[in-house]
Amino acid sequence: MARRTRPSAVPRSFRRTRLFVIANIVLWGVVGGWFLLQPKERQADVSRLLGNVFDARKQVTAFDVAWDLWQLYYSDDFVRVPPRGGRTVAYAGWPEPAGFMGPDAGRVLVNDGYVVGYSDALGNPRWAAYRAFDLELRDAPARPDEFVVDMRTSARVDPGVYSRSGYDRGHLAPNFAIATRYGKRAQEETFRMSNICPQRHALNAGPWKRLEQKVATSYPARFGEVWVLAGPVFGPKPERLKGRVAVPDAFFMIIVDEEGGRARAQAFLFPQDTPAEAPLEGFLVSIDEVERRTGLDFLRDLPDDAEAALEARAVARVW
């Protein structure tokens, strides 16, 4: 007669929780021991990072801390650059056409918390740039009720063009990140149609939103500040909404982290039909690939060697 297996006295969920707690204790012990050996200026940076772990809204875990410390001080992902930080919203210059035959980068429209390069011919922004810095997160002002025509543009796209089109009015510079850093007026400016592209709902409410949330919460808490470039990618003959607004094939987002004259970047390229639950890791590309697809030149104010090194790399892991 076969011996009956005796069920474990400890529930599996409890065992997993216990292992998680033990792993955290060991990790904190290693980080704490390392911290005590660091110079005072480094300890100050690390203390800010550790403090953000205890603010649940910033979505920073102990494992993030350990990984970030390794990346910051021991990895080769960073490239030496002249310090470019400060209050500018566009890191290392606004995007421009990559060559004589490159597409129109758009007229530059400056807003309180972000800048866009807008193409009247496409009825879309070609790119948006903004900076998200660490702060005590608070609730954003109430979301505006409606989108508005941007009278600075010649296209003057009306929000109604998107009605019943099958596409969301997708922000490039996001509502929450801008509102919490720059206030109510800046938030309202993100609802100008010059900041909006046709975006499938699964992408807009799925991977794109998850990445925007990282930029608004986790990344500034972990890195102090980040710079973002986001925009659409168009095919040679895009579909148009009501004959006016071109529909992108894909969207890109480039995120730059600079610390003490060293910079790194991660770039994403999301096809328009990206599923809502798709993991972000599947869309990591090099900035070179984004430039090839858009015809735009990014980070153009950096020295040529630093620009080339940053743009050639496709990181293996989402920060």
The catalytic residues are 171
Across the strands, what pairs with 268? 253, 284
**Separation between Cα atoms, residue 76 and residue 315, nearest integer Å:** 11
- Rounded distance between C-alpha atoms, residue 301 and residue 278, angstroms: 34
